[in-house]
Amino acid sequence: MPQKKLTEKTIAGLKAPDPSGRQVMYRDTELKGFAVRVSGTTTDRAYIVQRAINGNTRRITIGPVNVLSLAVAKERALDKLADFYKGIDPKAKKAAGATLGDVLDDYLEKRKDLAPRTCENYRAAIHGHLKPWLNRPLSSVTRDMVERHHIAIAGEIERAQRARAQHDAESWERRAKAAEKRGWLDAAANHRAQAEMAKKRETVSGQVAANNVMKVLRLVWNYAADKHPEIGSNPVRQRKLWYPVEARTRHLRAEDMPAFFKATMELENEVARDYVLVLLFCGLRRREAAALRWAEVDLQEARVLRIPAAQTKAKRKLDLPLVDFVHDLLVARRAKGKTEFVFPANSESGHIEEPKFHFGLISKATGVVVSAHDLRRTYLTVAESCDVSETVRRALVNHALARDVHNKYIQISVERLREPAQKICDKLKQLCGIEGPKGKNVAPLRRRSERN
């Protein structure tokens, strides 16, 4: 690196691009670490500061020669050099000043591949549980802070869940007493049953949520560290300190299916009734079934549900053959009138949203506690008992095939899925105690009240 006493006159005499065709640095003989960089390919000339710190060479651009005067450039260079002499890396200092909130916003803006709901969940995790940290520099978050807050999040959620269950129980009890005063004994009994359900409600420990918050924080930190390695090691890397979470296994047991089916058929809300049955007989995710449009249902020739990629969690389209039970159910539903959604509701989205209330009614009638996703788990469990291959099971529920070269070549058509799908349907009908002929001659699905 050549040396010169940098003055306005000598800087004006530096040719750009440099005749050598390469970038050249001219170090100032008076201010150590200060230099002018001359491009080898363009007319660019800029003031820079370059020093070694912690075994690494750092070069910081002060500004273009044609924009800053030499005096101003030297004044700014002195500030940077002062940080070097104190052992402070100016690049790390800049990165260290970025707040958690800023980095989160930048991360979500850059990750165009993330689904809108995923972005909402990430933002809710940080804003909901790490709000005091949003305006803190990300680099100020320590491992000790992470470990302590991880425990605190789980405790806060568990306490909130218990308080909510107690509040709901007390509310239903007040309604029961008010109904009794008015002589509404049936309503009072129903309210008191709801109060008992609230008392026995399965509360969330908060451990899963606490782990998820840490996962998002780790993602955001890694994103920042990729751009600025100077911020240091990720304090959320100690996964062994996270709460152990066992995979959920709850599903509808074979012995509970007749009672579950009977209680589902007796739901007063026919939209909810049909929705729950489609979940069971198709293995769809809650939102995939809820947002199903009639435009995506072919009841005639193809007899297929065509769920677009944008509507699935995997972002892969799902063409699912209509088994006889679901076909007849949807034919009966279609005959009730024209709507955009298969399962319409008076909601902001226009379709059924949260089926917890209806699952609660089924639970009250049967003592069987399951969720929408438990029915998906039930569908796969029954599919396995029918000796349906893993590849076909994955295709039916839109799970990705195992990641190897062989599976990348496999393309499964909807017709390939039709026979195993019907096999699973027949087994489910048998387990539920549904009687009647199979195939195209199946009678349309009707409620018990409609059959009497």
- Classify residue 247: in a domain, yes or no: no
- Answer yes or no: is pLDDT of 447 > 50: no
Identify the pLDDT of residue 115: 78
Identify the pLDDT of residue 446: 47
Are 36 and 76 members of one domain? yes
Are 210 and 271 members of one domain? no
Best-predicted range by mean pLDDT (54-63, 145-154, 319-328):
319-328
What does the pLDDT look like over 7-21, one tens digit per residue?
A: 999 999 998 888 888
- Answer yes or no: is pLDDT of 437 > 70: no
Are 117 and 77 members of one domain? no
- Classify residue 326: in a domain, yes or no: yes
Are 69 and 115 members of one domain? no
- Answer yes or no: is pLDDT of 448 > 60: no
Lowest-pLDDT range of 258-267, 304-313, 350-359, 401-410: 401-410
Are 277 and 191 members of one domain? no
Using omega within 30 degrees of 0 as the cis cutoff, is the peptide bond preceding 235 cis?
no
- Answer yes or no: is pLDDT of 438 > 50: no
- Answer yes or no: is pLDDT of 277 > 60: yes
Q: pLDDT band at 354, cuts 50/70/90? A: confident
Are 215 and 258 members of one domain? no
Higher pLDDT: 253 or 202? It is: 253
Identify the pLDDT of residue 443: 47
Are 340 and 271 members of one domain? yes
Are 323 and 388 members of one domain? yes
- Classify residue 275: in a domain, yes or no: yes
What value does the mean pLDDT take over residues 238-266? Answer: 84
- Classify residue 97: in a domain, yes or no: no
Which of the listed residues 57, 88, 119 is the one where a domain comes to its end? 88
Which residues are registered as beta bridge partners of 4?
28
Domains contained in the chain, number: 3
- Classify residue 292: in a domain, yes or no: yes
Q: Is 285 left (phi over 0), alpha (psi -120 to 50) or beta?
A: beta
pTM: 0.62
- Classify residue 315: in a domain, yes or no: yes
- Average pLDDT, rounded, for the chain: 86
Q: pLDDT band at 290, cuts 50/70/90? A: very high
Are 439 and 308 members of one domain? yes
Identify the pLDDT of residue 116: 78
- Answer yes or no: is pLDDT of 421 > 90: yes
What does the pLDDT look like over 193-227, one tens digit per residue?
A: 888 877 776 656 688 888 899 999 999 999 888 87
Identify the pLDDT of residue 31: 92
- Answer yes or no: is pLDDT of 380 > 90: yes
Are 162 and 216 members of one domain? yes
- Alpha-carbon distance of 393 to 83, in angstroms, equals 61
Lowest-pLDDT range of 22-26, 186-190, 415-419, 448-452: 448-452
Q: pLDDT band at 70, cuts 50/70/90? A: very high
Are 67 and 136 members of one domain? no
Q: What percent of the chain has pLDDT over 90?
A: 41
Range of the domain at 24: 3-88
What value does the mean pLDDT take over residues 170-182? Answer: 91
Identify the pLDDT of residue 209: 86
Are 301 and 418 members of one domain? yes
Q: 61 — phi, psi (to 5°)?
A: -80, 125
- Classify residue 248: in a domain, yes or no: no
What does the pLDDT look like over 140-172, one tens digit per residue?
A: 888 888 888 988 988 888 888 888 888 888 998
Q: What is the CATH number of the domain that holds 298?
A: 1.10.443.10
Q: What is the CATH number of the domain that holds 55?
A: 3.30.160.390
- Answer yes or no: is pLDDT of 229 > 70: yes
What does the pLDDT look like over 75-115, one tens digit per residue?
A: 999 988 888 887 766 665 565 568 888 889 888 888 877 87
Q: pLDDT band at 253, cuts 50/70/90? A: very high
- Classify residue 40: in a domain, yes or no: yes
